Structure 1
């Protein structure tokens, strides 16, 4: 985990020298000119970037122009100043969240750059709430082959990701956490660009990822943020060095916004946990909230949670924070917060209780499931050497778990349950060798 940056006070601007009349601000440049500038490798000014974002929000920018600008940024990149300007413009495109002063030290959040089977947010937000934190998580939908937190939660009948700032405050007061999406009030520009990136092959742009993540977090008024940056075959950035570059950008831009940010680098070659797919991942998140579930999921939840408790000054060390998060999973207090969050965000109270108190078999009856289920047997004797997360995610995407165009409905019941782990011996056509 990278060392967290502690932002310093911004410096005072240099005093102006002359006393002559102020020059009139230059006329804003038109979108085709901005696109041409970035396409040809030029720099965009803060005013240029602000003008582009305003055009996105007021819908004066055509879809083709938005796609062209995203591709120009993807191909030519942005320096740190441009990325910071884009982040701030996105954050200012909607309402800024304000909380009681007494909450300042408690406000924390986590973000992942996307993974196959990554349901950490569903477990971590209520676990942190059980540890005394306030978690106003503004999350996203699936990008490319990676599943989105909001899509997983919407597989629960009645769950609403659209919550007003007033509803968010009520949830933080009563539950301690909420998981919501962008709206016309909260970072609307990022919501539009996020959907466009998914269908224009610009998901893997470092400045666009940085600005998207941090703009949502900038409006939350956080004390601390931890970002789980994935690398590997099924990650947005395959190489660890690319992931480290993104982590540096997130920490650097975040510090400039006044955030205490830490970034963790985690591998994404194998799926996280054993379930992939919206409802199946909800089921596995509930298992983790029972104090059970796959060890790799629990380990990541406790490590990231421990880092946040330490960063925000609520634990003296990361290990102490991790132990507190683990205790919240084991004693049922995190699961209780999850149940209350579900009920607070539109799920029928009886269904929320049944999901959180039922057995795995009972839970499966309460959530959407695939009409056809098939168990795949090993074609030969052998040992499992690898489970290819990317190939699995692409198959599920084609079956309806992902989107090929913005706004496309998902099949929440599509998924895969991994019945084997790396290192297991298999018999041809039979169960694993015990």
Structure 2
């Protein structure tokens, strides 16, 4: 068959890679590059080139099994990463790093704050109670699927310091969304993610890893099988089902027909390009709105914690002007574990806080938001594979991460009787 895949993120590239083993696959991408959230910037230091990631950066073997299988098939090497985390508040000057005892003790002034002690007690209680409540029946303190993060915090009587300086920054960082939006996430969805990633326990956490040489190294290997039919700067504006198959309308007014199509873009983009969508398609795709974020690669270390021992791989910042968009700075030297003459950071939504002379590159990314209707919408994912010649895949069918994108592509491939090994 002739199959069109729309969107060259991890979902679309993986679906195209598998389907191209038996079918003629064409992949269309509106951007000037393939990769989606995978983007690596080569930075020159003398005669040495350092590959700095700006989007997809880390994974681990227990929680990303299919991504690891894909990397094994593509012979993609990786190395250990660092996932330490800090929080800083501009208004109060409070900053801390709970990732290890030496980092925690570095902020000695914090131990004179009663609120800090209360927060540490709440963190311990949260880790102790979350798993119990996930497994409990509704009449025994279990968690209703519709309960939001904000409601859970109030219901459980957690203090303001725990919410403002720990849990909301943690979730906001993981899903790259404002703390106010994270507060609307279904808390069961969040706690199940944290438990699956061993983030509800202090010990025996998985080792996170980075792609050696930059995450973009997997892209040419994943697209090699269909590189002659990989079309960049080729925006699809309309997808129409026809009596004979599927017709794609392009921004340059071209038109092309295929037997089937895989729509591997963000849910809101998928809905926007669908001609005459079915009622279920509209209702489900509307359950996944997106948050736009600017990511800036730079060398301005003023957005990192002041105390060197508090600096972490992930550094969440609460602006003095109040929280709008999420602001987090990834200290890439530590996160990717490379040696360099300068400190390289990737900051989400820095606004005017950066020295413009220290900016290297700017990117625009969009991340899915999850709400009360997420779980119900995701239950019908199987009905969105080969649905009247159209299949829908994307990380939004899961928790929004690279493994979810691969899993979504595998589900589409399975609809064609194919997979990573067949």
- Please report the TM-score for the alignment, with normalisation by the length of structure 1: 0.23
Higher helix share: 1
Higher strand share: 2
